[in-house]
Amino acid sequence: MLVGYEANNALRNSHELGEFARNLIERLATGRVNSYRALLFATRIKKEYCSYFSGYSNVGTFVPFGLSRLLPELWMRYRLNPWLRLEKVKIFHGLNEELPYHIDRNIKTIITCYGVDEHHRTSLMDSIVWKKRMEYAYEAANVIVAVSNEVRQQLINAGVSPEKIVVIGGKTPYELTDRMVEQYFELYRTLAGE
């Protein structure tokens, strides 16, 4: 099974959100060397995470190169489809609650949601852009993972169809238990048709 990830948090964020993303990928890769492969797509990688996944034969990373390095956000939002098709990605998981725009409909998509309107409130423009990205992700995702029943209700209140929402959560929004790792893996298997 090959899963592509929007992995900016996993490869750039030193806080809880980044830790959650790294732990999920690492625990899936460690426990399923022969049945799981991850491709991490990020606009850039922070120095301290450059070699974080280098010891895993079933985890690869992609960042923009050439002219795409000048506008990495555009690469991430609009230019991933050729890479996803080339690598034969069947499942794409937006760990940062985001998906590339116009993602190929043959690719099953998941986002993990930590709370509605919880992020990117640094400026009015940032809030507007984030809201548009979230609206697109809510609409485009095949499955939305809510980290709690409270977040599930927030999503429903925001107009998301309850049939799209699956709750996979622990006691805190960024906790990751063995049971949750298994739930994510089973979700991937279901979407892959295995």
Residue 120 CA to residue 109 CA, distance in Å, equals 22
pLDDT in tens, 65-108: 888 888 888 888 888 888 899 899 999 999 888 899 888 889 99
Residue 60 CA to residue 51 CA, distance in Å, equals 11
Buried residues in 111-140 as b, exposed as e (16+ CB within 10 A): bbbbebeeeeeeeeeeeeebeebbebbbeb
Give the residue carrying structure tokens 């850039």.
44
Nearest-CA neighbor of 166 among 189, 192, 184, 139?
184
What one-letter code names the amino acid at 40?
L
Residue 32's pLDDT is what? 85
What one-letter code names the amino acid at 177?
T
Listed in sequence order, the residues at least 6 apart from 117 whose beta carbon sits closer than 8 Å to its beta carbon are 131
Residue 141 CA to residue 180 CA, distance in Å, equals 20
**Which two three-digit tokens encode residue 149?**
């029943």
Asked if 155 and 138 touch (Cβ cutoff 8 Å), the reply is yes
Residue 71's pLDDT is what? 83
Question: Percentage of the chain with pLDDT > 70?
Answer: 94
Reported confidence tier of residue 120, pLDDT bands at 50, 70, 90: low
**Do the strands 91-94 and 59-62 form a parallel or antiparallel pair, or are they unpaired?**
unpaired
